[in-house]
Amino acid sequence: MGEVMQLKTGSEGIGVAGRRFTKVNEIIERHGRTPSALIPILQEVQEEYRYLPEEILTYIAVAMGLNPANVYGVATFYSQFSLAPKGKYVIRICDGTACHVRGSEKIKTALWEKLGLSDERKTTDDLRFTVETVSCLGACGLAPVVMINDRVYGQVTPEGINEIIDQIIAEEEGEKNAPEEN
């Protein structure tokens, strides 16, 4: 399991899980318990967890006095929300017309192959990478376009994307081996 799931306990302070959960409460408190606050709350909670775990959605329903069915409905309606865990790096391959014509499909296949993913398996087991397709990212001039978290990469080739991934992995490994600072 990746470090995302690991808990620090004992003298180091309450675990990551506990801290995150208190965050959820802060978020709800800050927005107030009106139904219209649900979407911004879900957005912020998703930032915390990188996805919307079922039990947290249930908790939000209780805390806001909403039906869990409503909350689930909203969470599944907007494409920005994910109910499955997402990786630390979310790779969005544009599949809009321009990018499609310029070979976005090949990039997807290359990525899937490299990371062992598929249409059903969107996230790697170590929760490092998630690969998704999206419609037009609004940068058609740069097609084919790939976004990794907030960074946009234009005119990507299958080889090029592999390099980018390797680079990320190298950085990650480096970080991991570096002495931990507190």
Partner 1 sequence: MNAAERNNFVLIDQQRIEVNGEKSILELARKAGIDIPTFCYHSELSLYGACRMCVVEIEGRGVVTSCSTPPVPGMKILTNSPRVQRVRRTVLELLLANHDRDCTTCDKNGRCKLQELADRFGVRKIRFGERDEKLPLDESAPVVRDPNKCILCGDCVRMCEEVQGIGVLDFVNRGSRVMVAPAFNKKLQDVECVNCGQCSAVCPTGALVVKSEIDKAWAALHDEEKLVVAQVAPAVRVALGEEFGLPPGEIVTGKVVAALKRLGFDKVFDTCMAADLTVMEETAEFLNRIKKGENLPQFTSCCPAWVKYAEHNAADLLKNLSTCRSPQQIFGSVVKRHWAKKLGKKPEEVFVISIMPCSAKKFEAARPEFSVNGVRDVDLVLTTQELARMIRESGLLFDQLEVEAFDMPFGLTTGAGVIFGATGGVAEAVLRTAHSLLTCKPADEYANDGLFNFETVRGFEGLKEAVLEVDGLEVKVAVVHGLGNAKRLLAEVKEGKANYHLIEVMACPGGCVGGAGQPVATGGEAKKKRAQGLYSADKLSQLRKAHDNPAVARLYEQWLKKPNSSEAHKTLHTSYQMRGRITGEEITLLTSKQENKINLAVCVGTCCYLKGSYDTLKKLMEKAESEGVGDRINLHATFCLENCEKGGPSVRVDDTVVSGVTPDKVESFFTENILGKLKIPAESQ
Cβ neighbours of residue 114 under 8 Å, at least 6 residues apart?
162, 165
d(CA 109, CA 118): 9
72 binds, among partner 1, ligand FES, none (CB under 5 to 8 A by kind): partner 1
Question: What tokens were used for 50?
Answer: 């990188």
d(CA 96, CA 102): 10
The only residue of 3, 14, 138, 167 in contact with partner 1, by rule CB under 8 A = 14
The only residue of 45, 90, 99, 110 in contact with ligand FES, by rule CB under 6 A = 99
The only residue of 143, 146, 156, 165 in contact with ligand FES, by rule CB under 6 A = 143
Distances (CA, A) of 135 to 99, 104, 113, 147, 162: 9, 11, 22, 12, 22
Question: What tokens were used for 62?
Answer: 């209780």
CB nearer to ligand FES: pick between 6 and 155:
155
145 binds, among ligand FES, partner 1, none (CB under 5 to 8 A by kind): ligand FES
CB nearer to ligand FES: pick between 80 and 97:
97
Strands 129-134 and 89-94: parallel
Q: Which of 25, 17, 20 is nearest to 62 (CA)?
A: 25
Quote the least distance from Cβ 19 to partner 1, whole Å.
Answer: 9
Asked if residue 96 binds ligand FES (CB under 6 A), the reply is: yes
Q: Which residues contribute to the site for partner 1 (CB under 8 A)?
A: 7, 9-11, 13-15, 17-18, 21-22, 25, 53-59, 61-63, 65, 67-73, 76-79
| Binding stretches for ligand FES (CB under 6 A) | 94, 96-99, 136-140, 143, 145
